[in-house]
Each structure stands twice: as structure tokens, then as C-alpha cells.
């Protein structure tokens, strides 16, 4: 059987291979960015390297793709992974459903160099409905670009490189994070006058860099206000799609390796096959599931797996909470903005703590949702204040104030066998925490206090307030902190876990949570210096802060005039 490839694909690929073989970073950058001075060129060369040139091709079959690679002098056996970013760009450009476009990415190395050709492929059999799309893309080469890979990226370096490229006329042109290879892509249009022969530039950074990516995409969307607004207006659809996915336990029915079709999944979760297929296409656009081939089957992605019921710190309760009780009250956000009153209280006649406490199902859902964010807790096990209490001659005591179901306390006790725990909570929550901590094997190391903030136990070595202060206004926060300060011995430490509002306009989960807290809870997020003032009003001093996962921060405080951390001795016990 004779295998034929599209002659235009072969010519374009051969030309790309030749370009990659002949170029190097230092000589190419002045052509790509006219006007670079010597210092700027040196900064770019020191921080990134020419990685590849990219091309999108449309082989009629997998066999034709291998023949195309061989004819262009490239290795034919190369691992191909899904390309989320290019798939979504193609779908937007041609009005297609992303789930129907199986775009793959492979990077064969160019012989004699440390560079590759980045080849995007979309199989387009002759006579298929992709023929016109392929013809358009071959003619315009929208996805052809040069790529600089950033070596040892960090947010500061990435922001600086983006600013430098923008200063020399490169314009933001989209991008994304590809979870299949754990890499962040920032696309730019080449500046006017570029002599490199490519209209687009990619800045590739290994790992996930959400803040830098969000700022870059915001600059890109600024030129398309109507589309941007329309996407923002449909954000509620995303919340409900994820909530229904969780409610149906769809992630439990899916597999991360084997694709399952909509009819089989509909039978498994009790849904209408046609409508479930529509939901799956939308979830594929969100990268919660991945479509195989023509969308006949779906697999669970790393993101979607977080909604399974059998994973540690499952985020399913959060999906049900945000898509259920808080979704309904958020519809009354206008009442909060107009009056300053809490919309949840306005709708239900009670604050959410009291409302949930009256309904065991909602109370359990809320406690489970708090545990769903426990990924932020892991670094706390190594915090100096925790390790200091864990090394005390006598067993150090950790007091978890309003500690929910004991998730954080349990992690600290597991990491430090020398610690003992005290958990203060409302009566119904205490029983849930007792069951959880006993199941984790900590029953004989914990005591439980059913009460309010006025009942903070005295004599502990370490006190915890995890995501508590943001529930309350300033006066109540001062009261809570004063109760803690009165209970704390001179040597004790206080760790406060919260999301901090940024000091600038950079993207932050805290900014979104601030609106949520005001509408649904009656609290608010705060800046670090705001917390420092609240602590000082209670006779406490902010010692330092440290970042945690999920955009959280731990604030370390001690009683004013206490010994320098690290020189304390511990009395042990409560």
C-alpha cells in the first residue's frame, strides 16, 4: 500500500526543520525583536533558549504522519500527547466543538541540535469535514511560531520577560496551561518589522504559573471585549455544570485511562444520554474530561479526578456547596452591594452557620467542604512553630480553635507524634471531629471542647485559627483574637491561615473570596497589614508570614513582648 502525504505539509515541515537546524538563540533574537540593546539581549539569552519552531499539519492517517516525519528527516517514533491550547484555538477560530478536534503534539528532535520541531497534528482523512479547516490553516499558518523556553522559571522572571517582549512591540496572543505535559504557554504576535520569518512567538515555561498566565490572557482579551464579556456572563453555567457533574457522581463512573461513551455513562449515573453527551462536551472544554478521537468516549482528567468521592480531600463537597446553597444566595448579591447586608441572611433569616446547623445534611456538607481545601495544610506540618512544639521535652499541645472536622489537627498529629491536640468546636461539629480523629488513630492524643470562642482552652503551646477570621467583621475578629491571647501562655505561638488580598491588582483567589464572604457569610478577606492591626489590637504581634497552596498564607503571631521564636520553652498540656 502506498502512503501519501499532503505535499504542502511535507514542504512546510522540511522548511521548518532547515530553519531550526540553522538558527541559534543569540543570532535569532535581534531579528525577532528589532531594537533590542545589548543588555536586553544578554538578559534574554541568559534566561531562555530557542527551543523549537512549530507547525500544524493534517495527515490523512497515523501511517501518513510517520511517513511525513521520515521524509522530512525526523524520527518517526515520537510520543504524542493531547494539545489543549491549540485545540481550543482551532475550535474558537472555526466555530467547532473542541471535543471533536483531537489535536496532538509531538516534538521530534532535529539531528545535530538540542532543538526540536513542535508538530501539532490533526488527522484529516480525505473527504472529511476537516478538509476546509485544513486548507485554511495550511494557507495561513496560524499556529506556526518560534518558541523560547524559559529555564528555571519563577513568576518574577516570567513577568519581566513578558514586559520586555511587550516593550519591543510583541503583543499578547493567548496561551494556556497543558496539564498533559505540565507546561505553561504564553503566545505573542511578533512586532512589526520582525525579520525572523515568523509572525508568532511562544514563551514556554515548565510547570504551572496561573497568575502570570491570567495576566497575559487578560492583556490578550483586552482587544476582544465583546467575546470576553460573553464568556464572563456565562460563568454561572460553568458552576452548575461542575455541580451537576459532582451530583451525578460522574467522575466516579469515569476512568482516567479507558474512554467511556455517553450511553454507557448515562446508564451508570441515571441520566439522559443525549443531554449527558452535551454536558460532557462542555466539561471537555473545561478540561474536566478529555474526549478521545471523535468524542465517542471520554476519560477523566487530573482536574476532574478531584471531584471523585474516593480521593483524599475530594473537592466534590465544594462543587455541591458552591453550586447549591451559596449559588442560590449569590443570586442576591445585588442586595449585599446596595445595603451592605449579607444576602444569605436576607434570604434565609439566619446566618449560614445557624442555617446549616439546623440541617444535618447541610452541616455535614459544609464540614466536608472545609476539608476539601486541606491541600493548603501540608506545608504547615513543617512550620517552625509546629516543629518547635513537636520537639518539646514534654508533649506539646496544639489547640485548634473552631477546627471543623479535625483535618488540620490530624495532619499535625500524624507528622509530629510528640504533639497532643485539643479541638474547640460547636457541639455537632465536635462529634464529627471526634469520629474523624479516632478513625485516624489519634483518639488517645486528643481532647474535645464543645463551645464558642469564649471557651478557648488555656495553656496550649500552639494555637490555630484556620480560615476563621475571614468569617467575621473587624470587631468580632478582635474579640476572637483577644480570647486566644488570654488563653496563650507567654511562650505560645498562634498560626492564622487566611487568603490575603494582594497589595496591587494582581489576580488572586482572595479577591473573589472577598465578594463571596460579604455576600454569603458576612465576613471579608483582608490585607496582611490589616491582620497585623487586628492582632496588635488584641495584644499580639505578627512575627512573619509564609505562602501556602491554594493562594493561602499562614500568619505567625505571638503575644506582645514574648520571647524571640526559637528560644521558647514549652510547659506542655492544657
Report the catalytic residues: 470
- What is the grid cell recorded at 436? 474523624
Give the three cell numbers for residue 104: 496532538
The torsion of the CA quartet 205, 160, 156, 216, rounded to 10 degrees, works out to -60
Cell numbers standing for residue 457: 482552652
Contacts of 371 (CB under 8 A, 6+ apart): 313, 317, 404, 405, 407
- Cα angle 455-457-463, degrees, rounded to a multiple of 5: 110
Q: CA 474 to CA 209: how far, in whole Å? A: 33
Strand blocks (E) in 48-198:
48-57, 81-82, 104-106, 116-121, 145-150, 171-178, 183-189
Closest CA to 399 of 463, 456, 447, 484: 463
Tell me the three cell numbers of residue 363.
452541616
Take residue 554 and report the three cell numbers written for it.
499562614
Give the residue carrying C-alpha cell 485545540: 87
Give how far Cα 366 sits from Cα of 48, 144, 429, Å. Answer: 46, 48, 10
Strand order through the sheet with 145-150: 81-82, 104-106, 116-121, 48-57, 145-150, 200-206, 183-189, 171-178
Amino acid at each position: 500500500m502506498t502512503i501519501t502525504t499532503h505535499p504542502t505539509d511535507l514542504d512546510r515541515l522540511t522548511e521548518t526543520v532547515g530553519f531550526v537546524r540553522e538558527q541559534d538563540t543569540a543570532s535569532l533574537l535581534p531579528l525577532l525583536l528589532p531594537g533590542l540593546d545589548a543588555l536586553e539581549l544578554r538578559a534574554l539569552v541568559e534566561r531562555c533558549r530557542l527551543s523549537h519552531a512549530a507547525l500544524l499539519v493534517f495527515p490523512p492517517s497515523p501511517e501518513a504522519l510517520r511517513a511525513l516525519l521520515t521524509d522530512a528527516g525526523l524520527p518517526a517514533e515520537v510520543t504524542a500527547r493531547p494539545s489543549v491550547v491549540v485545540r481550543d484555538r482551532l475550535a474558537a477560530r472555526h466555530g467547532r466543538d473542541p471535543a471533536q478536534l483531537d489535536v496532538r503534539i509531538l516534538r521530534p528532535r532535529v539531528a545535530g541540535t538540542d532543538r526540536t520541531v513542535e508538530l501539532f497534528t490533526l488527522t484529516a482523512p480525505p473527504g472529511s469535514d476537516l478538509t476546509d479547516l485544513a486548507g485554511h490553516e495550511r494557507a495561513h499558518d496560524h499556529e506556526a511560531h518560534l518558541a523560547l523556553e524559559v529555564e528555571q522559571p519563577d513568576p518574577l522572571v516570567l513577568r519581566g520577560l513578558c514586559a520586555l517582549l511587550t516593550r519591543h512591540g510583541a503583543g499578547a496572543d493567548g496561551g494556556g496551561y497543558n496539564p498533559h505535559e505540565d507546561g505553561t504557554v504564553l503566545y505573542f504576535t511578533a512586532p512589526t518589522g520582525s525579520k525572523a520569518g515568523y509572525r508568532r512567538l511562544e514563551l514556554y515555561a515548565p510547570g504551572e504559573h496561573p497568575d502570570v498566565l491570567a495576566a497575559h490572557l487578560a492583556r490578550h482579551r483586552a482587544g476582544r471585549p465583546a467575546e470576553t464579556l460573553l464568556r464572563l456572563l456565562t460563568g454561572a453555567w460553568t458552576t452548575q455544570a461542575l455541580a451537576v457533574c459532582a451530583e451525578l457522581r460522574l467522575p466516579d463512573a469515569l476512568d482516567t485511562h479507558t474512554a467511556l461513551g455517553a450511553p454507557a455513562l448515562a446508564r451508570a449515573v441515571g441520566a439522559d444520554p443525549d443531554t449527558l453527551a452535551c454536558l460532557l462536551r462542555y466539561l471537555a472544554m473545561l478540561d474536566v474530561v478529555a474526549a478521545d478521537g471523535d468524542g465517542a468516549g471520554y476519560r477523566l482528567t487530573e482536574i476532574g479526578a478531584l471531584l471523585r468521592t474516593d480521593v483524599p480531600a475530594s473537592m466534590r463537597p465544594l462543587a455541591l456547596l458552591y453550586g447549591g446553597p451559596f449559588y442560590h444566595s449569590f443570586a442576591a448579591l445585588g442586595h449585599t452591594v446596595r445595603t451592605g447586608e449579607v444576602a444569605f441572611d436576607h434570604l434565609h433569616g439566619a446566618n449560614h452557620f445557624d442555617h446549616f446547623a439546623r440541617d444535618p445534611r447541610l452541616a455535614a456538607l459544609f464540614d466536608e467542604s472545609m476539608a476539601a481545601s486541606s491541600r493548603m495544610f501540608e506545608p504547615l506540618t513543617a512550620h517552625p512553630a509546629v516543629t518547635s512544639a513537636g520537639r518539646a521535652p514534654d508533649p506539646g499541645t496544639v489547640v485548634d480553635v473552631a477546627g471543623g472536622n479535625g483535618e488540620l489537627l490530624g495532619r499535625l498529629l500524624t507528622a509530629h507524634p510528640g504533639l497532643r491536640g485539643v479541638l474547640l468546636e460547636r457541639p455537632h461539629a465536635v462529634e464529627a471531629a471526634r469520629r474523624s480523629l479516632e478513625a485516624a488513630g489519634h483518639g488517645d492524643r486528643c481532647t474535645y471542647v464543645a463551645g464558642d470562642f469564649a471557651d478557648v482552652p488555656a495553656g496550649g503551646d500552639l494555637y490555630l485559627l484556620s480560615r476563621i477570621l475571614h468569617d467575621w467583621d473587624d470587631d468580632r475578629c478582635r474579640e476572637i483574637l483577644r480570647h486566644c491571647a488570654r488563653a496563650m501562655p507567654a511562650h505560645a505561638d498562634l498560626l492564622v491561615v487566611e487568603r490575603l488580598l494582594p497589595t496591587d491588582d494582581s489576580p488572586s483567589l482572595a479577591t473573589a473570596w472577598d465578594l463571596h464572604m460579604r455576600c454569603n457569610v458576612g465576613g471579608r478577606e483582608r490585607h496582611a497589614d490589616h491582620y497585623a492591626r487586628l492582632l496588635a489590637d488584641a495584644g499580639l504581634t505578627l512575627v512573619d508570614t509564609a505562602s501556602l497552596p491554594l493562594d493561602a498564607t499562614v500568619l505567625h503571631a505571638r503575644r506582645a513582648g514574648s520571647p524571640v521564636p526559637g528560644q521558647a520553652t514549652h510547659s506542655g498540656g492544657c
